[in-house]
């Protein structure tokens, strides 16, 4: 491995390990049962340091005062943080990456909040200033969460939740539509599938009380994953 | 220099516009797809329709108001569009058919019969309804609203569905006397909110501590048995840890009408069904009034586990 890349990868892993361990301590202090979202509603990051599936973004943003620390690795290894503001947007910052990639800034704004009937609609940008190894990528995305109660009404299956996503983006998304789906079981495990830039990615995700692990098989040939911890600041 | 418009391919622009249009269209279709009670033909019936909708849409009786159907699941959501059947140590109580069907519904009941069933839990012949029917909450419903509700119940389409008899281990008894109902609904926001919480939308039925009587109910939450297992109907007082003390009045009103929580998540379980079929029909003033009343409650904690 290129020594420069090895250094950046090691740095990202160490930053992630320290950050997540601090997050775990803080999480234990500030999370109480009444404020933890259902697992299927967790605003988990994918592999691109933003709330989403694997490479596709979702229209969801972290809640007010929610901070997520994350580490991810696929074509590039990153450590980063996501901050939600006023339930209407998120700012993500990440460091690491290939080709000497530096620090990148992601942003997403929720244009239409989700209701029981209407989906959420958001617009965002990855690597807004073109400063990391990723392409600058603007996108528009629509997401709908079908809660377990309605899945049971429609299918008779208990404790399943479904989240559907569809959007369009440039850059990483190559000026093409993208779609994705998550099927959540009652024990906090989800199966993920998405089509991004005409390529299929599949994966799995686990969420428990603010912690998340996402693993994926990208384009049928490359593995990727992320770990994250979310705390709500008092 | 290229503009954003030039950089987006025309087909992609079409896609984006299609997605945005589809979102609105899907919402409209989904809203229409939900079972709707029949239209009213007079202002009195219109008021009755509104009361029925915000009174949990008389949901136990089903979206078609025909009561529980033999052979179907006991509880929502799988019992829909028919009503629910409640099974417990108290016995087996199927929701009755309240449509205008002459054989299995209430077409032959007089208006006074229906009023007494709603507000006092007494059916024709002195037959006492089970306490699952929230008559003690509805006892405080304004007389004008009860009359409007009865007028609208006459509009319900007849559905023939003979509901089996209930089987209770202990027959229901008359409760303590309750204060008389007002002639009309209050208009002052907090009083209107209390009226809706206690006497119309019957929030107390799920959110009040089990032993409390109507009128003195503390909305400190309760554990409910549902088809999906035990569900906590949360504490609705202003306690900042276990209650909704962190929610603003606007948060509460928005939640009631859309199901969107302050953290951006959605209402869950039976509350989601209730919001879709019932509380989303609250007017902005009514939702604000409920929120104002809940925000006026002192913080309290229940002892449920």
pLDDT digits (tens, 9 = 90+) for B120-146: 999 998 889 888 888 888 999 999 999
> B272 contacts in A (CB within 8 Å)?
116, 147, 149-150
Please name the residue that has the structure tokens 């340091």: A49
> B244 contacts in A (CB within 8 Å)?
none
Out of A98-107, B7-16, B31-40, least confident range: B7-16
Q: Which of A119, A156, A176 comes nearest B23 by C-beta? A: A119
Q: How far apart are CA B208 and CA B234, in angstroms?
A: 9
Span B191-219, pLDDT tens digits:
999 999 999 988 888 888 865 555 567 88
A114–B260 CB contact, under 8 Å: yes
C-beta separation of A59 from A142 below 8 A? yes
B19–A115 CB contact, under 8 Å: no
**Mean pLDDT (chain A, rounded):** 82
- Residue A15: strand, helix, or coil: helix
Tokens representing B179 are 């204060």
A170–B7 CB contact, under 8 Å: yes
Using the 8-state DSSP alphabet, how is residue B200 labeled? Answer: I
Peptide bond into B77 cis (omega under 30): yes
A87–B27 CB contact, under 8 Å: no
- Residue A62: strand, helix, or coil: coil
Alpha-carbon distances of B266 from A149, A173, A209, B260, rounded to whole Å: 11, 29, 17, 5
Size of interface A-B (CB pairs under 8 A): 104
- Tell me which chain B residue has its CA closest to the CA of residue A111: B20
Buried residues in A58-94 as b, exposed as e (16+ CB within 10 A): bbbbbbbbbbbbbbbbbebbbbbbbbbeebebbbbbb
The rounded percent of chain B whose pLDDT value lies above 90 is 48
A149–B31 CB contact, under 8 Å: no
**Residues with Cβ < 8 Å from B28, sequence gap 6 or more?**
none
Q: How far apart are CA A94 and CA A198, in angstroms?
A: 26
Give the global pTM.
0.84
- Tell me which chain B residue has its CA closest to the CA of residue A158: B228
C-beta separation of A107 from A144 below 8 A? no
> A170 contacts in B (CB within 8 Å)?
7-8
Q: Which of B12, B227, B241 comes nearest A34 by C-beta? A: B241
> B275 contacts in A (CB within 8 Å)?
116
A119–B26 CB contact, under 8 Å: yes
Which helix (H) or strand (E) element contains residue B85? strand B85-88
- Tell me which chain B residue has its CA closest to the CA of residue A168: B16
Q: Where are the beta strands (DSSP E) in chain A?
A: 66-73, 77-85, 89-96, 103-112, 120-126, 137-146, 161-169, 176-184, 189-196, 199-208, 211-218, 222-232
- Mean pLDDT, range A157-174, rounded to an integer: 90
Span A52-69, pLDDT tens digits:
999 999 999 988 788 999
Q: How far apart are CA A181 and CA A29, in angstroms?
A: 33
B266–A87 CB contact, under 8 Å: no
Please say if the pLDDT value at position B175 is more than 90: no
Tokens representing B191 are 């009083």
A175–B12 CB contact, under 8 Å: yes
- Residue B260: strand, helix, or coil: strand
Give chain B's contact residues with A (Cβ, < 8 Å). 7-9, 12, 15-16, 19-20, 22-23, 26-27, 30-31, 76-78, 80, 227-228, 234, 241-242, 258-260, 262-270, 272-273, 275-276, 280
Give chain A's contact residues with B (Cβ, < 8 Å). 32, 34-35, 37-38, 41, 60-61, 63-64, 66, 87, 110, 112-121, 140, 142, 145, 147-150, 152-153, 156, 158-159, 166-168, 170, 175-177
Among B150, B185, B212, CA closest to B282: B185
First CA to last CA distance, chain B:
65
**Residues with Cβ < 8 Å from A3, sequence gap 6 or more?**
none
Span B26-78, pLDDT tens digits:
665 555 556 678 899 999 999 999 999 999 877 889 888 999 999 888 888 88
> Cα distance from A226 to chain B (closest Cα, Å)?
23
C-beta separation of A116 from A145 below 8 A? no
C-beta separation of A47 from A38 below 8 A? no
Going by pLDDT thresholds of 50, 70 and 90, the confidence category of residue A4 is: low
Higher pLDDT: A201 or A87? It is A201
> A116 contacts in B (CB within 8 Å)?
258-260, 266-267, 272, 275-276, 280
Please say if the pLDDT value at position B159 is more than 90: yes
Q: Which of B12, B16, B30 comes nearest A117 by C-beta? A: B30
Residue A120 confidence (pLDDT): 94
Residue A30 confidence (pLDDT): 35
Q: How far apart are CA B195 and CA B209, in angstroms?
A: 18
Q: How far apart are CA A143 and CA A59, in angstroms?
A: 5
Span A20-49, pLDDT tens digits:
555 554 443 333 334 557 788 888 998 888
C-beta separation of B61 from B67 below 8 A? yes
> B260 contacts in A (CB within 8 Å)?
113-116
C-beta separation of A128 from A106 below 8 A? yes
Q: How far apart are CA A183 and CA A191, in angstroms?
A: 5
């Amino acid at each position: 491995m290129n020594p420069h890349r090895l250094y950046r990868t090691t740095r990202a892993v160490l930053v992630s390990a320290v950050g997540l361990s601090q997050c775990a301590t803080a999480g234990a202090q500030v999370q109480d049962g009444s404020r933890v979202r259902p697992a299927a509603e967790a605003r988990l990051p994918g592999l691109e340091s933003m709330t989403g599936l694997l490479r596709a973004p979702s229209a969801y943003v972290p809640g007010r005062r929610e901070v997520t620390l994350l580490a991810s690795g696929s074509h590039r290894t990153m450590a980063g943080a996501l901050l939600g503001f006023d339930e209407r947007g998120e700012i993500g910052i990440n460091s690491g990456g290939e080709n000497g990639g530096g620090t990148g800034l992601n942003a997403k704004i929720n244009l239409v909040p989700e209701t029981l009937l209407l989906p959420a609609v958001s617009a965002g940008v990855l690597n807004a200033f073109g400063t990391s190894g990723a392409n600058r990528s603007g996108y528009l995305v629509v997401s709908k969460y079908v809660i377990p109660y309605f899945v049971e009404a429609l299918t008779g299956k208990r404790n399943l939740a479904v989240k559907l996503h569809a959007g369009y983006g440039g850059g990483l998304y190559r000026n093409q539509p993208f779609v994705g789906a998550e099927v959540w079981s009652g024990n906090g495990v989800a199966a993920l599938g998405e089509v991004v830039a005409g390529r299929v990615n599949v994966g799995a995700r686990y969420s428990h009380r603010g912690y998340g692990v996402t693993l994926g098989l990208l384009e049928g040939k490359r593995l990727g994953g992320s770990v994250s911890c979310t705390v709500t600041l008092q | 220099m290229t503009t954003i418009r030039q950089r987006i391919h025309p087909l992609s622009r079409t896609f984006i516009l299609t997605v945005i249009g589809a979102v609105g269209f899907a919402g409209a279709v989904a809203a229409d797809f939900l079972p709707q009670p029949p239209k009213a033909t007079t202002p009195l019936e219109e008021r009755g329709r509104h009361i029925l909708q915000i009174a949990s849409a008389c949901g136990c009786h089903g979206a078609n108001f025909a009561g529980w159907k033999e052979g179907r699941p006991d509880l929502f959501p799988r019992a829909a569009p028919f009503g629910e059947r409640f099974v417990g140590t108290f016995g087996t109580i199927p929701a009755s058919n309240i449509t205008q069907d002459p054989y299995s519904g209430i077409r032959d009941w007089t208006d006074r019969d229906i009023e007494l069933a709603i507000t006092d839990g007494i059916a024709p012949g002195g037959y006492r309804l089970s306490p699952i029917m929230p008559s003690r909450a509805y006892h405080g419903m304004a007389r004008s609203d009860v009359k409007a509700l009865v007028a609208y119940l006459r509009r319900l389409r007849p559905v023939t569905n003979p509901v089996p008899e209930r089987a209770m281990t202990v027959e229901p008894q008359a409760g303590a006397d309750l204060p008389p109902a007002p002639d009309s609904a209050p208009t002052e926001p907090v009083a209107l909110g209390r009226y809706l919480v206690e006497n119309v939308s019957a929030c107390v039925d799920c959110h009040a501590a089990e032993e409390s009587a109507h009128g003195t109910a503390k909305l400190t939450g309760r554990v409910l048995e549902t088809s999906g297992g035990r569900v906590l109907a949360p504490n609705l007082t202003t306690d900042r840890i276990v209650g909704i003390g962190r929610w603003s009045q606007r948060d509460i009103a928005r939640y009631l009408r859309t199901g969107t929580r302050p953290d951006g998540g959605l209402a869950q379980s039976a509350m989601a069904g209730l919001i879709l079929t019932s509380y989303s029909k609250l007017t902005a003033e009514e939702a604000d009034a409920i929120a104002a009343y809940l925000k006026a409650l002192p913080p309290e904690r229940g002892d449920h586990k």
